[in-house]
Amino acid sequence: MTCDCRDTLHLNDYGTQLKIQIVECDQTTGLDVPVDVSAAITLQIILKPPIAAASTKTALILNPPGTDGWIYYTTQIGDINEIGAWKIQAYAAWANGAWRTAKSSFPVEDIL
């Protein structure tokens, strides 16, 4: 999994795109390769703040048709409501199975 949270998030930010690339290990090369998510029936991003329970958000394909594996969720008012280290994970389901990515993390800083 590749997580693209380059910008620092701050408490109560919204309108930020949280992006995750869903990848799998190529058994021949040992390298991560993008998973084609174009036929996925469910795409979600799970956000876990430091204290509160995790929340599941519906994700969208970043670059249609989705062959590069990138999905995203745009934060809404009230989503980023705790400072500290957050965890993020993607979930994708197809007709023949469902999988989660590895967890990643990103910081949320306080405001003045």
Q: What is the pLDDT of residues 61-79, one digit of tens each?
A: 999 999 999 999 999 999 9
Task: Report how many domains make up the chain.
Answer: 1
Q: Report the pLDDT value the prediction gives residue 8, as an integer from 0 to 100.
A: 83
Question: Identity (one letter) of the amino acid at 103?
Answer: K
DSSP-derived letter for residue 51 is S
Instruction: Give the structural domain span for 24.
Output: 2-109
Q: Report the pLDDT value the prediction gives residue 47, as an integer from 0 to 100.
A: 98
Residue 100 sits in a domain whose CATH number is 2.60.40.10
Q: Report the pLDDT value the prediction gives residue 63, as an integer from 0 to 100.
A: 97
Q: Which residue has the tokens 């919204």?
A: 14
Please list the ranges in the chain whose pLDDT falls under 70: 1-7
Task: Confirm whether pTM is higher than 0.75.
Answer: yes
Nearest to 90 by CA among 6, 41, 20, 39: 20
Q: Report the pLDDT value the prediction gives residue 23, as an integer from 0 to 100.
A: 95
